[in-house]
Each structure stands twice: as structure tokens, then as C-alpha cells.
């Protein structure tokens, strides 16, 4: 029987790469987006794979719970759905800015985890997508975004500790600069990243997906509670 994976925020970028990568590795993947139209391109491009739409807004907790409960057994949850915004000075950050980012990136991760573990057995895993900005404070991103990713790191460790007794592993992948639409908010040309990243290139969605696929595999069955940086050397140590 195929393993079942749920990938949130799967319509493009890193989430799309993760969904396709897991499906290519034998998973039946439930790919989440706020509406099915957002998934059309990805579903058409991967028609030979077992990828199914799962529609909800990560901030609508009732729809999250209902969607997760409709699946049944879950072997892997990838929390990727995220929000960002252009960098603002502290004085310019609004309550709505804060709530939108935190509700999506931190609150959303917690509650879908809470609902999903009811359908998980020993051997299942959770992979959270964080960001190097949680450690650096992010010169090019907003304070709410950095704070939300720091919360994800702490959530990863706390959940890993609690769920270890149930045989469920929880880890986070922390990308550096990756070539996605979100990168445009940073206001830098792509050649900028080739100069500042030690390995000399911008990250690609598949670079992140490959680590997620590894963490979801049996090869990682003794790894939990880890925040794994995938950033071309942008953050070391």
C-alpha cells in the first residue's frame, strides 16, 4: 500500500517541487492550495503521478481539520504553506501584517500538525519548512516573517520531543535564498545571490525538496528534532 503524504502550499515553488518529488518516490500526495485553480498547472504537468488536490486555507482551522480528517491515514505531513511581505521598519509594521504572517506560518503549522497526528502511526514523519532568517534576523525580509520562522523552529523541537514516544519524527528544513516568486519581495536581482552565497548560485526548489524526501525516507529513521540548513553555505555552523 502506498504511503500518504500531505504537502501544504503546493501550488508552486518549493511546495510544488516537494509534492512532485514525494510522488515520484511512491507517495500518494495530497497537494494543498486555497483553491483548485492554483493547482491546475502542477496537476497537469504531473498527470502520471498520484497527486490529488486538497483545498483549504491554512488560516481557516475548521476547513483544515475537515480536510485532514477526510484523508484517513497520513504517513508524512510537510508544512510548507507560508506568507511573507516586503521588509518594513518596525515603526511601519501593522497589527494586520503581524497577524497575517504569524497565523499562516506559525499558528497554521501547529494546528494542522495537531489534526494530522490523529491519523499518524509509528514511523510517520512531519517536515516543517522554516527559513535561515530565523537565525539571522533577515536583512531582506520582515520582522514578522523572521519571528514566525523562529517559532517554527521551536515548534519543530517541541513536537519532536513530545511525539518521539509515539514513534513520529519531526524535523525542519531551513532554506536559504531559493529561486521562487517569494524571492521578488527581497528587491535584489538574481545575480546578487550568486555573489553572496558561498557555493556561487541561487538555490532551486529541488534542492529543498531533495532534503524533504530524504527526511521522509527510512534512511532518516533515527533523525528527529533537527533544523537542517539547506542554503549553499549562506549560514554555516
When pLDDT is averaged across residues 51-63 and rounded to a whole number, the result is 96
Q: Return the ∠ at Cα 207 (arms to 201 and 208), rounded to 5°.
A: 125
pTM of the model: 0.95
Dihedral sign computed on CA atoms, order 97, 227, 159, 13: positive
Q: How confident is the model at residue 42 (pLDDT cuts 50, 70, 90)?
A: confident
- Of 27, 145, 192, 193, which residue is the catalytic one? 145
Calpha distance 103→110 (Å, rounded): 10
Are 89 and 65 in contact by the 8 Å Cβ rule? The answer is no
- Report how far apart, in Å, the C-alpha atoms of 219 and of each of 56, 121, 155 are: 31, 18, 23
Average pLDDT, the chain: 95
Residue 218 has a pLDDT of 96
Are 19 and 29 in contact by the 8 Å Cβ rule? The answer is yes
Concerning whether 145 is annotated as a catalytic residue, the answer is: yes
Residue 27 has a pLDDT of 97
DSSP state of 202: -
In this model, does residue 9 exceed pLDDT 90? yes
Are 31 and 7 in contact by the 8 Å Cβ rule? The answer is yes
Number of CB atoms found within 10 A of residue 121's CB: 12
Per-residue pLDDT reduced to its tens digit, 179-225? 998 888 888 999 999 999 999 999 999 999 999 999 999 999 999 99
Per-residue pLDDT reduced to its tens digit, 62-121? 999 999 999 999 999 999 999 998 899 999 999 999 999 999 999 999 999 999 999 999
Number of CB atoms found within 10 A of residue 160's CB: 20
When pLDDT is averaged across residues 164-178 and rounded to a whole number, the result is 97
Amino acid at each position: 500500500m502506498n504511503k500518504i503524504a500531505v504537502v501544504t502550499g503546493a501550488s508552486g515553488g518549493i511546495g510544488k517541487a516537494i509534492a512532485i518529488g514525494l510522488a515520484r518516490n511512491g507517495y500518494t500526495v495530497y497537494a494543498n492550495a486555497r483553491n483548485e485553480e492554483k493547482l491546475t498547472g502542477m496537476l497537469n504537468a504531473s498527470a502520471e503521478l498520484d497527486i490529488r488536490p486538497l483545498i483549504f486555507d491554512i488560516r481557516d482551522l475548521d476547513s483544515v481539520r475537515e480536510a485532514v480528517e477526510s484523508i484517513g491515514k497520513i504517513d508524512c505531513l510537510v508544512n510548507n504553506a507560508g506568507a511573507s511581505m516586503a521588509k518594513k521598519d518596525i515603526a511601519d509594521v501593522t497589527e494586520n501584517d503581524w497577524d497575517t504572517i504569524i497565523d499562516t506560518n506559525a499558528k497554521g503549522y501547529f494546528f494542522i500538525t495537531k489534526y494530522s497526528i490523529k491519523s499518524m502511526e509509528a514511523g510517520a514523519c512531519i517536515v516543517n519548512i522554516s527559513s535561515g532568517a530565523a537565525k539571522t534576523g533577515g536583512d531582506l525580509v520582515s520582522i514578522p516573517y523572521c519571528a514566525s520562522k523562529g517559532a517554527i523552529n521551536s515548534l519543530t523541537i517541541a513536537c519532536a520531543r513530545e511525539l518521539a514516544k509515539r514513534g513520529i519524527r519531526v524535523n525542519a528544513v531551513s532554506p536559504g535564498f531559493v529561486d521562487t516568486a517569494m524571492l521578488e519581495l527581497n528587491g535584489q536581482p538574481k545575480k546578487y545571490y550568486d555573489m553572496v552565497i558561498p557555493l556561487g548560485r541561487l538555490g532551486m526548489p529541488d534542492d529543498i525538496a531533495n532534503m524533504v524526501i530524504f527526511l521522509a525516507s527510512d534512511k532518516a529513521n533515527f533523525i528527529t528534532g533537527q533544523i537542517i540548513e539547506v542554503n549553499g553555505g549562506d549560514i554555516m555552523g
